[in-house]
Amino acid sequence: MEQTEFLEKNIFTDLKNLNDGPDKETVHVFSESDFETLLQRVEHFGIGVYQIETSLNGEVSAVATHEDLKKKATDPKWYNKAFLTFKTRNPGLSYAATYKVSNKLLAKSDTLDSEEVEDVKE
């Protein structure tokens, strides 16, 4: 399974992609509430988040990376802190991120129990 397929199947499911531009298949943009759900799913699976980009009315507002906070991309402390900071400073932002699904998780994903995946989505 490819990273994109894994994200679509296990992370982006039931979330609305607000990106209506030509890159909407590769860049997913979410509302604040959907992004919060996404981060919970990412943390559950141990997926790395390299960068979070916020936008307001289609214009980039702020960007944070795991390197800014000197944390590993898979450390949920960095992306949860960045998200909390962004939403506290400016409610109503849209969020996009770059992810890294480990090869180990991709290999294992074909054998994941569908109940486990469903539990994360709720």
Q: Total structural domains in the chain? A: 1
- The pTM of this model reads 0.85
Q: Which regions of 1-122 does DSSP assign to beta strands (E)?
A: 48-56, 59-65, 94-100
Q: Which residues pair with 5 in a beta bridge?
A: none
Q: Which residues pair with 56 in a beta bridge?
A: 59
> What is the band of 25 on the pLDDT scale with cuts at 50, 70, 90?
confident
Q: Is residue 65 part of a domain?
A: yes
From the number of C-beta atoms within 10 Å of its C-beta (0-12, 13-18, 19+), residue 94 rates as buried
Q: Is residue 120 part of a domain?
A: no
What does the chain come to in residues? Answer: 122
Q: Which regions of 25-86 does DSSP assign to beta strands (E)?
A: 48-56, 59-65
What CATH number does residue 51 fall under? 3.30.190
Distance CA 6, CA 95 (A): 19
Look over the chain and give the mean of its residue pLDDT values, rounded to a whole number: 89
Residue 61 sits in which domain range?
A: 3-109
> What is the band of 53 on the pLDDT scale with cuts at 50, 70, 90?
very high
Q: Is residue 14 part of a domain?
A: yes
Sign of CA dihedral 16, 17, 19, 25: negative
Q: Residues 51-65: what's their mean pLDDT?
A: 92
Q: Is residue 114 part of a domain?
A: no
pLDDT attached to residue 112? 57
Structure tokens at 13: 């499911």
Backbone φ and ψ of 87, nearest 5°: -70, -25
pLDDT attached to residue 113? 47
Q: Is residue 83 part of a domain?
A: yes
